[in-house]
Structures are given as C-alpha cells and as structure tokens.
Structure 1
Amino acid sequence: AAPAGQGGIGADVEAAEARHRAWGQPELFAVEREDAALAHALRRRGYAESEPTLILSSPVAPLCEPEIPSVTAMALWPPLAIQRELWLACDVGPERQAIMERVQTPKAAIIGRMDDRAAGACFVAVQGEVALMHALAVLPQWRGRGLGAWMVRRAARFARAQGAAQLGLSVTEDNAVARAFYARLGFSEIGGYSYWRRE
C-alpha cells in the first residue's frame, strides 16, 4: 500500500475519508475479503474490521416455484406505512430505509401477510440481470412459519419480471439461522466483505 498522501491506496483512503466528512457521516469502508492491500492500509490508519459478511446468490428461476398463496406476499412501491413500521420493529431504521428510496433502478417493497395481518417486509432492486434483496424482516411471532420464504419467492418473481436471472443478498457471517434459511432456498456463497471503522 502506498503511504497516505503519496498516491495509490493511501490517497484513495484519504479522499474517501474527506468525502465522508463532507457528508457528515462517520468514516466507514466495505472491503472485499480478497482486498488485502486495502485492509492493510486501513489497519495502518487505525481502522478495525467488523461484521464479516457473506454475499449469497441463487438463480431466479427455481425460486419462482411453487405458486405463492394468494395475498401472502405482494410487491409494491412505495412501501406502505405498515411496512416501514415493520422494518423499524426489526431494526431496519430510517437510514437503511432512505437508501431504498434513493435507488433509481426498478425496485419493490415486498409485504408479507399471515393470519390476515402484515407480518413481514423486504426490499428488492434490479440492475440488469442481477437483483439484490435487502432488509428481509419478519415479526418474531410469525417466524418459523414459512413467510420469509414466500417473500423471497415474491422478490424472485419481481426480479424475473424485470429481466433478472440472479437474486443476491448479504448476510453476516455469524448469523447461522439466516445462513441456514437461505441455504434451504438454494442460495450459495459467491463472495464476502467486512466493514472497517475507526477504533
């Protein structure tokens, strides 16, 4: 890695830090696990690694089967107020919801219903042949009853309708429950990254 201020990675890190400060945001980097040079440069500047995260992917086609039961999972935009409340209840706060708003490609908020009530929500956006899913949340009292899988399948159907062939998502490495859930649906690991913050 080049020393800070002398070009290369060090200069890139300094420029990114300046941009974060201009935005009034804390300095935060997402670093792919293969990028040892950037990780080393950040460590030298007092950053520490956190939240190792896996990137998972599945072909869209198999996720589009079987048929989704009526009114179990629906795609819409913008999100309903109840979806925003569900996300808040599941720790998907205003900052993460604002990212969804800024997305300029085809997108949808999936609402999941169980026992005639809104019980879950997730977000999906499509760029070309790839769709990314984010913020899958099911209220605790309805977990373990299959609603999450139906919402993933609805996200896949939305993705297919927009021309996507792959559905991807990220999950923290230590979230064994989520990893097992996605594995059962046919997702496999294709990469990973970690966040780096000042110690």
Structure 2
Amino acid sequence: MSKAYFDTIDATWPPLNIIERGGFLLRNGGGSDSKRVCCATLNTSLSAADIQDAETGMIALNQRPLFMIREEDNELDAKLNERGYDIVDPVHILSAPVATLIRELEPLACFEVFPPLAIMEEIWAAGGITEGRLNVMHRAQTAKTTLLGRAKGRAAGAAFVGLHEKIAMLHALEVSSRARRQGVAVNMMYAAANWSQDHGAEQLSVVVTHANTAANKLYTFLNMKPVGHYHYRIKQKNSRID
C-alpha cells in the first residue's frame, strides 16, 4: 500500500527530472527548497548501491546530499548515520476515504482555481511557500487544482491538490495567520475531497511532519489514518563527503 502513496508523491509533487546514479534515483528540484523534490531514494539493493556516487551526483545538481529513508530502508539509514548524516523531518503519510470527507460547503467558502491567483501566492509566501514550490505545482502533469479558502468575505487560505490513479494528495495547505481557528482549513479539506471525488479518487492523502502539531490535530479531527512514513538523512554541514 505505501508504494502507491510514494508514487503519488512523485506524481503530484514532481521534481524537474529524476536521474539514475549509483543505484539511487536522484531528484532534481530545479531550484525548489522542498525536500520531496530534492532527495535521493534507493533504487537497487544496498550492496549494489554506491552512496558516494549518489552524493557526487547531488552535488553536481547544486543540491546538498539528502536521502529519503522509507520503511524498507533501515540498512541504508544505518549506513548514512555512519557517514555523518542527521535525521530531519520525520513524516507521516495520512489518508482517508474520499467518501468520508464529502461535504456541502457554504457558498463562497472555498473555490477551485488553476492557475492560482496572486492573492493565493501572497498567502503561500507569508507561510514560506515561495516560487520554487509554486513551480512544482505548475509542472505536475496530473489532474490538479488549487483551492482558495475564504473567511469573513476575504481570501484566507491556499492549497494544491493533485491526483495519481485513485489517490489524491493535498500539498501546501496554508491559512493566513489572521484567519486561523475559523474553520478555513477544515473547509478546504472538505473542498479537496469534493474535487477528488469529482475526478475519480478513492483516497485523499497528505504528508505531514511529526513536528507540525496544528496540522496533525486537523488531520486527526478528519479521521485520517497513517498509511506510511519516512524521514530524511542530510549531510552535516561540517562533514566531509568521502
């Protein structure tokens, strides 16, 4: 089951391209700071892999060596620890059946629009979601949309949703600081489910770091369940690449 969600991550939040090197798949982020589009994943047995060659390949892309560690990558995790890599951003993949999240929303509560409006880009920018991540949204070659959430007659939130096979995935959910605790994020999740159902999805999923307390609380409220997990290993800045 988890593989389908990892495939959905790559399809709905894609790197500029993927390069095979050293038994790894290296994601070229194209200038984005999103770890999901800048990481390497193991593509062969670890015994046949060449971590140093993968590191060299990432450096050639002007990216700091960064590996995604999935559930089956325990041995790689240990090897990278020996090489001076730190764990960063442990992540849950959460999902719920679309049918459980379908709601009829109040008029004007949330709009589907693509490409995103300037006001949405402003909301994202205030939350640290800047041009590199917007470029990821534009290059996704899937059914996709962005959502504009509203509160008290004003733009209040923005999110991106993409579809891969029967799984929709929501990314970059951001609510303006002035509009939090007003139900904007919940309405946007319901709107994402409505869009997902209209496009044939059976599951609505998200990826969220363990540390994002507010988002985890939202997804627990929506009864979204863990279907996978991963973390990253990144080279310490003062460590030598050997």
TM-score normalised by structure 1 residue count: 0.90
Q: 1:13 to 1:102 in 2, by over 3 A?
A: farther
Hey, what's the Cα distance between the residues in 2 that align with 1:140 and 1:25? Answer: 32
Out of 131, 138, 147, the position equivalent to 2:168 is 131
Out of 111, 114, 135, the position equivalent to 1:98 is 135
Percent identity reads 37
Deviation, 1:9, is: 2.4
The residue number in structure 2 matching 1:71 is 108
What SS class does the counterpart of residue 134 from structure 2 fall into?
Answer: helix
Correspondence list, 1:33-182, <5 A: 33-65=71-103, 67-182=104-219
Deviation, 1:110, is: 0.4
Higher RCO, 1 vs 2 (CA within 8 Å, ≥6 residues apart): 1
Deviation, 1:17, is: 2.5
1:196 has 2:208 as partner = no
Q: In the alignment, is the contact (CA less than 8 A) between 1:9 and 1:41 conserved in 2?
A: no
What SS class does the counterpart of residue 58 from structure 1 fall into?
Answer: strand
Deviation, 1:34, is: 4.0
TM-score normalised by structure 2 residue count: 0.75
Hey, what's the Cα distance between the residues in 2 that align with 1:110 and 1:57? Answer: 19
Q: Deviations over 1:12-50 (max 9, x none)?
A: 534432332232222212211442012112222221111
Q: 1:64 to 1:48 in 2, by over 3 A?
A: same
Hey, what's the Cα distance between the residues in 1 that align with 2:197 and 2:216? Answer: 23
Q: Deviations over 1:85-142 (max 9, x none)?
A: 1101011122222211221001111001111111100010001100111111101111
Hey, what's the Cα distance between the residues in 1 that align with 2:175 and 2:182? Answer: 10
Q: In the alignment, is the contact (CA less than 8 A) between 1:33 and 1:194 conserved in 2?
A: no
Question: Runs (4+) of structure 1 moved beyond 4 Å?
Answer: none
Hey, what's the Cα distance between the residues in 1 that align with 2:105 and 2:53? Answer: 47
1:20 has 2:58 as partner = yes
Hey, what's the Cα distance between the residues in 2 that align with 1:159 and 1:12? Answer: 40
Number of matched pairs: 194
Hey, what's the Cα distance between the residues in 2 that align with 1:92 and 1:39? Answer: 29
Q: In structure 2, give the amino acid aligned to 1:103.
A: A
Root mean square deviation of aligned Cα: 1.9
- Structure 1 residue ranges without an equivalent (≥5): none
Q: In structure 2, give the amino acid aligned to 1:32.
A: R
Q: Which moved more, 1:21-30 or 1:111-120?
A: 21-30
What SS class does the counterpart of residue 160 from structure 2 fall into?
Answer: strand
Q: In structure 1, give the amino acid aligned to 2:168.
A: A
What SS class does the counterpart of residue 112 from structure 1 fall into?
Answer: strand
